[in-house]
Amino acid sequence: METTIRKRPVTVLRLPEHLNAKSEWNFLREVDLHMSVSRPFLVLDCSSIARLDKPMIFLLLRCLEEAMKRNGDVKLAGISLAGDSASGFPPANRIFEVFSTAEEAVNSFYKYSLDADADAGESESAA
């Protein structure tokens, strides 16, 4: 029996290199455009940011909050977590799934579905 998994679109957005009021507003406006679907899947490409500071963390959390309101999810790509604990915040990988590349993060949305289906099949055959 063949299973077809309907792929939901995943949006990849690059975070601004420098965060100020204007860049934050523009970025959140762009995020909002992609939140109109049911269960939005969003990958935030953090490769352009040098440091995970307080305003950037709040921006990431705000994106996650908006996605969760719609039963969606946000994953991070290309982020360096080295300075996380030094800034007084819990590491981002405790809140977000973190991947080396945006491609890996996008694929992870689909990998979970395939793994869950395989696990369900094994437990059905064991019963």
7-51 tens-digit pLDDT: 778 999 999 988 899 999 999 999 999 998 889 999 999 998 877
Q: What is the CATH number of domain 10-126?
A: 3.30.750.24
Q: Among 51-55, 63-67, 106-110, 119-123, which range has the highest average pLDDT?
A: 63-67
Q: How far apart are CA 54 and CA 35, in angstroms?
A: 24
Q: How far apart are CA 94 and CA 26, in angstroms?
A: 27
pTM (two decimals): 0.75
Q: How far apart are CA 81 and CA 92, in angstroms?
A: 7
Output the six-digit token pair for 115. 């793994």
Collect all residues with Cβ–Cβ distance below 8 Å to 99 and sequence separation of at least 6.
75, 76, 77, 78, 105, 108
